[in-house]
Amino acid sequence: MASSSSDEEFRQWIPFRQRPEWSDVKPLPQDDGPSPVVPIAYKDSFVETMDYFRALYHGDERSFRALSLTSEAIQLNPGNYTVWHFRRLILEALEVDLQNELDFTEAVARGNSKNYQLWHHRRWIAEKLGTIATSKELEFTRKILSLDAKHYHAWSHRQWVLQTLGGWDDELSYCDELLEEDIFNNSAWNQRYFVITNSPLHGGLKAMRTSEVSYTVKAVIAYPENESSWRYLRGLYKDDNHSWVNDAQVSSACLKVLSAKNNYVFALSTLLDLICHGFQPNQEFRDIVDALGTPDSDRQGSDLAKSICSVLERVDPIRANYWRWRRSKLSQAV
Amino acid sequence: MEIFGDMGELAAEKHVEYILSVEKKKDSFESVVMEHLRMNGAYWGLTTLDLLGKLHAVDVDQIVSWIIKCQHDSGGFGGNIGHDPHVLYTLSAVQVLALFDKLDVLDIEKVSTYVAGLQNEDGSFSGDMWGEIDTRFSYIAICCLSLLHRLDKINVENAVSYIVSCKNLDGGFGCMPGGESHAGQIFCCVGALAITGALHHIDKDLLGWWLCERQVKSGGLNGRPEKLPDVCYSWWVLSSLIMIDRVHWINKEKLVKYILDCQDLDNGGISDRPDDAVDVYHTYFGVAGLSLLEYTGLKAIDPAYALPVDVVNRIFIGRQSKKES
Ligand SMILES: [Zn+2]
């Protein structure tokens, strides 16, 4: 933090009324109205900064001192959208080099990166800079994601950058990298889907299916309790149930997980979905599901789907009602 | 009644006291960040009071005159007096006025013109004149216009198709096309589709399963896979499940217990997770969540409009009792 020039002003905070360059400004206090609901007592430095801010804002003073005042106000409360708005007006009026503004937003992000205004401002800058900003934006989001790999704002920004400015070349390998770090990262799986369906480099979902299925099958077998990878696998067959039901890789992945008898809820629910869509299970599937049933559970005979629902109801009790509903839907269908 | 200690019960009176006295310590970060979103704070606090049957404890005229002062020439409302208008605060202002049955103080034409003006050609909505786009704003605009009976001012068909374009392979919705499914965004999209009568665009069984997968062992709900549970998701997930008629798929008893475990039994208020610090936001979502779970003694809340059911009925069914008198 200390290396950034905008931070130096904050090392020792001097009240505005003691700063000679501000002597001509008459501060404008906040009118909180008469309401007793959610009364607020503000910190002094915050009150004074905002009083001077209001004075300049109402006078529409788009100057360099106004710009530095907005820096201070944003550091105190990065959520105040009016301050950000006014800052953009000033930046436009002064025709400031926006590369510096990227540094400012990075400094703010170091304090609190979960702030809508910050990201909206960053997008505004990137939009103005155009494709020369691409690599910086990808690098910036990568930095934020290295601290919090599920950061919603950073992912949104990154997707916007890719779609608006480009820079797809390394995106799939970036997803590989993140999933290697944490295979349970739903955001990274989502990004992977975003890449294979939107990137101009890969030829779309169908062209990618073979390689993606083998990648994902490995993932579900390694960590069968991973909701994200199972959903991704299903998503690879979007609008193509026929291929999904008939791809032996999917059913044999289920079989493999079920044989290990560990963390098999998603494998079992996938098998249930397959059967509901016309998959014809052989004896091997029946034997394995039978082996998961409790001895006292009523034997459903030939109705494998019903047995599956019973097992799921027992091993996933918090969602017992859901599995019971799945079972009731089976009898309705008959 | 001193046997509150074993969880089990909602400390309703404590929460009322907490809301009425949300006293900000002078140097707290919260007092600074609250300043610009005071309108949201008013909505969270006052709706909680109403659900607890204590709305009469506040001075209606004072609050209404403050709200009017927050209105901008454009018709939109700011988060506080003198602040720029934003659709976020405009909805909160309309909701608070609805709570008090004071929507008639509004120049409805003006407010709805402001909100409708935020729609973009592709059907999406911006939050303010600076153009940030998010499905949150689609919900906010649609909810607000519906409460004002002015949905005819926007292109509903385009609004719906934009939301549908944000649907993901898991049945959920993100903030924009391609954005990851997130319970908060799902509430916004499902709510907007419910209000516009377009729920048929949702794969209810698929989304319902994703939503009930959000319940973790402790009984709480998270907002995305592998994230921690949080009381605010009781609202986002539950209301969505109710709107698509799949709420019976989760374990309600366990969720009630989780929310009650997040109460501060000494000073009132509800936090995101057990033993964390309380705030108005999570107090509102906790109480609203319990209301959706039909907890005894709470007014029922409408899952789409996020207002008490009697308030919503007054707006859409009319005010028979007043007419009769
Ligand atoms: Zn929360």
What's the complex ipTM?
Answer: 0.92
Q: Kindly report the pTM of this predicted structure.
A: 0.91
Tally of CB atoms within 10 A around A278:
10
Task: Look up the domain containing A283 and give its range.
Answer: 240-333
Is position A262 within any domain? yes
> Closest Cα of chain B to A265: distance in Å?
11
Is position A312 within any domain? yes
> Closest Cα of chain B to A44: distance in Å?
8
Residues 1-20 of A with CB under 8 A from B: none
Is position A23 within any domain? no
Residue B2: pLDDT band (50, 70, 90) is very low
Tell me the H-state helices in chain A.
5-11, 44-59, 64-76, 81-94, 98-111, 116-129, 134-147, 152-165, 171-181, 186-198, 204-222, 227-235, 241-246, 248-260, 265-276, 283-292, 304-315, 320-333
B126: helix, coil or strand?
strand
Where b means 16+ CB within 10 Å and e means fewer, B6-17 reads ebebbbbebbbe
Burial bucket for residue A233 (CB in 10 Å: 0-12, 13-18, 19+): buried
B265: helix, coil or strand?
coil
Q: Read out DSSP for B27-82?
A: T-HHHHHHGGGHHHHHHHHHHHHHHTT-GGGS-HHHHHHHHHHTB-TTS-B-SSTT
* HSE (side-chain half, CA atoms, 13 Å) at A58: 14
> Closest Cα of chain B to A145: distance in Å?
15
B263: helix, coil or strand?
strand
> What's the mean pLDDT in B214-234?
96
Minimal Cβ distance to A34: which of B65, B70, B168 = B65
Contact yes or no for A322 and B209 at CB 8 A: yes
Contacts of B35 in chain A (CB under 8 A): 30, 40, 42, 46, 50, 77, 80
pLDDT of B111 strictly over 90: yes
Cβ–Cβ contact A88 with B under 8 A: yes
Strand partners, B221: B215
**How would you write the pLDDT of chain A (334 residues) with one tens digit per residue?**
333 444 444 557 888 999 999 999 999 987 766 544 444 556 778 889 999 999 999 999 999 999 999 999 999 888 888 899 999 999 999 999 999 999 999 999 998 898 889 999 999 999 999 999 999 999 999 999 999 999 999 999 999 999 999 999 999 999 999 999 999 999 999 999 999 999 999 999 999 999 999 999 999 999 999 999 999 999 999 999 999 999 999 999 999 999 999 999 999 999 999 999 999 999 999 999 999 986 555 555 558 999 999 999 999 999 999 999 999 999 765 4
Q: List domains and CATH numbers for chain B.
A: 6-324 (1.50.10.20)
Please state, in angstroms and rounded to a whole number, the distance separating the CA atoms of residues B34 and A77. Answer: 9
Is position A143 within any domain? no
Is position A244 within any domain? yes
Residue pair A264/A224 in contact (Cβ under 8 Å)? The answer is yes
User: Taking chain A, what is the end-to-end CA distance rounded to the nearest angstrom?
Assistant: 67
The tally of domains found in chain A comes to 1
How far does Cα A331 stand from its chain's mean position?
Answer: 39
Is position A71 within any domain? no
Phi, psi of A43 (to 5 degrees): -70, 145
Minimal Cβ distance to A76: which of B32, B176, B217 = B32
Contact yes or no for B215 and A318 at CB 8 A: yes
Contacts of B176 in chain A (CB under 8 A): 156, 159-160
What's the Cα-to-Cα distance from A182 to each of A149, A187, A192, A226, B221, rounded to whole Å?
9, 10, 14, 11, 22
Q: Read out DSSP for B147-216?
A: HTT-GGGS-HHHHHHHHHTTB-TTS-B-SSTTPPP-HHHHHHHHHHHHHTT-GGGS-HHHHHHHHHTTB-
Strand partners, B308: B301
Interface test with B, best of A30, A38, A269, A324 (most B CBs within 10 A): A38
Interface test with A, best of B29, B35, B43 (most A CBs within 10 A): B35
Is position A268 within any domain? yes
Is position A46 within any domain? no
Residue type, position B14, single letter: K
Contacts of B72 in chain A (CB under 8 A): none
Please state, in angstroms and rounded to a whole number, the distance separating the CA atoms of residues A10 and A219. Answer: 48
Where b means 16+ CB within 10 Å and e means fewer, B185-205 reads bbbbbbbbbbbbebeeebebb
Q: Which residues surround ligand 1, an ion (CB under 5 A)?
A: B 230, 232, 272
Q: Is the dihedral of CA B137, B140, B146, B150 positive or negative?
A: negative
Contact yes or no for A37 and B170 at CB 8 A: no
If you measure from the C-alpha of residue A188 to the centroid of ligand 1, how many angstroms do you get, rounded to a whole number? 22
